[in-house]
Structure 1
Amino acid sequence: MRRKERDMNFQTTETIQRLWETFLNEQLASLPPEQRDAAATQFEQRFGELMAKNGADGDGGFFDLIGLGPNGGAGFDAIGYPHVQPDFDDSVVPSQLHAAAELYFIYQHERMKVFQVVDVLLRLFRLGKMRIQRGPGARGLYLLQKWQPLRYSVRDRMVAYRRAFNYGTAQAPAGAVVNRNFHRQLVGFMVALGQYFRDLLIGEVIRGGQLIDQRPFGSVATVQRIGLDLRYALDRSTYGNIFALAMEAGHYLKSVLQLLDAPDIKKAFDANTKWDVIEIVSNRYLGGVAEPSQRAKMAESGRRILQFVADNDFRTAIDPILFQSVVRPMGAHAEAWLAAYRMTPEGRGFPGVTPALRGVLGVPQPASV
């Protein structure tokens, strides 16, 4: 009886594989065009379920094949189909990816000199060079000076940025994994999203025209492929203290931003907002301001994009219409990030969406005429 079940198991699998395409074409041909995309996605999911169901269970098929099963050696036609469930793209730690998103937000504020500004205020408060006494800002500076709540030093943070994003010049610890391709993959993901939505717009306007051949890169597969690579690389480089550091530094950043908005501190620098305080202190004591407008937008949109990457499984067989709906809010964040990135020192050489995407995908640039 068991031998017969295995025969049917293998024969059923072979039949499904051989006749599936014919069955799919016949079924889709009988449906209205507007229903075919959704039906094709459902058929693809059903095909995967059938393949998994008809695969060999456990190690029995392998032992039968090599002659160690209860029935001795068995031929190929009596062995269950060796269906292996793909799970590489799911083997990530979500908490690490969310911590990486927060760490990126913290990094951009580090580049805005927020942490340095707070250190300057603490020094001025201690030396009596800032005219505040008993207000909320003075009390906040006193508590920061007394308790020193941020235990991760600037060196610790710089090492974390180097490990997770390959940003900065800090020396990575020996043996630690450094995410050397992060920035390239992040820019690639942003430009893939931007190109995807630009292609949708172009396709709606000139659908069927000759210019449609000039948009080969704006596809769901491109966004998914770069997103998966980005997620995998972040997962393998953000182990250790990255989660704890991101949580502690994130809470500290939130507290100091509230502190910089205290009325007595703003009055001491004749400022209207906390961002004015950061700009004035940076110009006066830190050698100049560091693109606060661009960094703030990159922090906001970059964190949101990385959160999306962390939470999306990028299923290959997803319905394109569903994917378009899910990813649409990210298109605005990608465009905002790119617009801000172009105005930073490292982004002023940005070659544009299409050339950058060609570079990420390894496609040769067209020869100049």
Structure 2
Amino acid sequence: MSFQTTETIQRLWETFLQEQVAGLPPEQRGAISSQFEQRFSELLGKSAGDSDSGFFDLLGMGPQGNVGFDKIAYPYVTPDFDDAVVPSQLHAAAELYFIYQHERMKIFEVVETLLRLFRLGKMRIQRGPGARGLYLLEKWKPLRYTRNDRMIAYRRAFNYGSAQPPAGAVVNRNFHRQIVGFMVAVGQYFRDLLIGEVIRGGQLIDQRPFGSVGTIQRIGLDLRYALDRSTYGNIFALAMETGHYLIQVLKLLDAPDIKKAFDANTKWDVVEIVSNRYLGGVAEPSQRAKMAESGRRVLQFVADNDFKTAVDPILFQNVVRPMGAHAEAWIAAYRMTPEGRGFPGVTPALQSVLGVPQAA
């Protein structure tokens, strides 16, 4: 289809859209407008036709020879940048984040300490399931990725820790800033929505959230892109292997003979006692556990959501609603950690991520 014909269709489409929307009831206009926008994008893509023939027509090498601009096909470029991600890498990053928070809780160090105590005969267990599990861990060493390997992975994917990244590796230096920004954007969205529901005075105010969908989409897309470009290589394999190892060692810490050896009621009591006794102190297990749970769920949401620009606001509100509780829980836990005690608050943090200058 020629450029002139496509241009005419675009003008007529806008007139047609206004006429159709004007005749609809107010409560139906939002959903219909989103459907029209999606249909308009499809028409633009089909009107472009064969891009190669249009290029040859422009050069004068097509079957018609030299033709005017009005007869050259419309050069519609398909926007596919936001879709150019590897989903498996993003899901691996979500699992790696969960593993990282347990690393900060000293779970792996606690297990290594138990292995050392078991080997040196400093822990009074011998034939129970915990002793059997420690024996098998020591015999087979199922976790091939060392602490240094994991630290390099955390540095590459999240820029966490002080490990030296390999030369030439991509480091996701803005991850923490982006995940904090995404959490506060989702939190601000539902806080504003709650305000709108409280003070609503019009017939449709409950269908028009005050929060900005665009802010969540923009930060979410940036987070997807940055994670995708930094989690290649062994990140997927490391997350899978370490995740399965973490499941087994958490079961091991819950073994009755190990709990009895430390006079503990739960596996988390074992972690706390061993950390205080041998590792210089406990490392915020309550906050880290909640950040691991909510952070992984939000990153899974980011991995699976395409953040389409023309999404229906009401549909987006329903889809993102479960993430509101996770975002608020993550922020509350983050503010109680050493690195989060300087958290300025939802609004200043969101302004910082969006590049809005702070008032003096």
Q: TM-score, normalised by structure 2?
A: 0.96
Which residue is 2:170 aligned to?
A: 177
1:17 positional shift: 1.5
> Residue 139 of structure 1 aligns to a residue in which SS?
helix
Match of 1:318 among 276, 290, 311: 311
Give the secondary-structure state (helix, strand or coil) at the position aligned to 2:144.
coil
In the alignment, the residues of structure 2 paired with residue 35 and residue 250 of structure 1 have an alpha-carbon distance, to the nearest angstrom, of 47
Equivalent-residue separation in structure 2 for 1:113 and 1:328 (angstroms): 33
Is contact 1:98–1:310 with CA below 8 Å preserved after alignment?
yes
Q: Does 1:203 align with 2:189?
A: no
Query: Is residue 56–residue 79 contact of structure 1 (8 Å, CA) maintained in 2?
Result: no
State whether residues 195 and 217 of structure 1, in contact with CA within 8 Å, keep that contact through their aligned partners in structure 2: no
Offset, 1:335: 0.3
Say yes or no: does 1:75 pair with 2:68: yes
The residue type paired with residue 198 of structure 1 is R
Q: Give 2:244's aligned amino acid.
A: H
Partner of 2:342: 349
Unaligned runs of 5+ in 1: 1-5
CA distance in 2 between counterparts of 1:203 and 1:126 reads: 62
- In structure 1, the residue matched to 2:152 is 159
Partner SS, residue 59 of structure 1: helix
User: Across the two proteins, how many residue pairs are aligned to each other?
Assistant: 355
- The one-letter code matched in structure 1 to 2:39 is R
Q: Using the aligned pairs only, state the percent identity.
A: 84
1:194 to 174, 187, 192: 187
Q: Is the 8 A contact 1:189 1:227 kept in 2?
A: yes
Report the equivalent of 1:229: 222
Query: Which residue of the partner structure matches residue 139 of structure 2?
Result: 146
| Superposed structure 1 runs of 4+ greater than 3 Å apart | 9-12
Provide the aligned C-alpha RMSD in A: 1.4
Q: What SS does the corresponding residue of 1:331 show, helix, strand or coil?
A: helix
Q: Counterpart of 2:305 in structure 1: which amino acid?
A: N
User: What is the deviation of 1:10?
Assistant: 3.2
Q: Distance in 2 between matches of 1:13 and 1:207?
A: 43
Q: Following TM superposition, by how much is the alpha carbon of 1:208 offset from its aligned partner in structure 2, in angstroms?
A: 6.8
Q: Which residue of 1 aligns with 2:287?
A: 294
Provide the C-alpha distance between the structure 1 equivalents of 2:30 and 2:358, rounded to a whole number of angstroms: 33
- 1:124 counterpart (117, 122, 139): 117
Shift of 1:24: 1.5
SS of residue paired to 2:51: coil
Mapped partners of 1:22, 1:338: distance in 2: 46
Whole-Å separation in 2 of the counterparts to 1:325 and 1:266 = 44
Question: Residues 177-217 of structure 1, C-alpha deviation per residue, up to 9 Å, x if partnerless?
Answer: 000000000000000000000111111222479xx9xxx99
Distance in 1 (alpha carbons) for counterparts of 2:39 and 2:348: 39
Q: What's the counterpart of residue 98 of structure 1?
A: 91
Distance 2:297 2:101 in 1: 13
Amino acid corresponding to residue 343 of structure 2 in structure 1 = F
- 1:271 aligned to which of 252, 260, 264: 264
Mean CA deviation greater in 283-292 or 9-18: 9-18
- How does the TM-score come out when normalised to structure 1? 0.94
Distance 2:179 2:113 in 1: 33
Q: Secondary structure at the match of 1:245?
A: helix
2:211 equivalent in structure 1: 218
Residue type of the alignment partner of 1:244: A
**Counterpart residue identity of residue 316, structure 2:** F
CA distance in 2, matches of 1:32, 1:232: 39
Measured after TM superposition, the shift of residue 364 of structure 1 is 1.1
- Which ranges of structure 2 fall in alignment gaps of 5 or more residues? none
Structure 2 CA distance, aligned partners of 1:208 and 1:229?
A: 36
Amino acid in structure 1 at the alignment position of 2:302:
V
Q: State whether residues 10 and 54 of structure 1, in contact with CA within 8 Å, keep that contact through their aligned partners in structure 2.
A: no
Aligned-pair CA distance for 1:300: 0.2
Distance across 1 between alignment mates of 2:97 and 2:17: 45
Find out whether 1:256 has 2:252 as its counterpart. no
3-state secondary structure, aligned to 1:22:
helix
Structure 2 match to 1:364: 357
Name the CA distance, whole Å, in 1 between partners of 2:72 and 2:140. Answer: 68
Secondary structure at the residue paired with 2:165? coil
Q: Specify the alignment match of 2:234 in structure 1.
A: 241
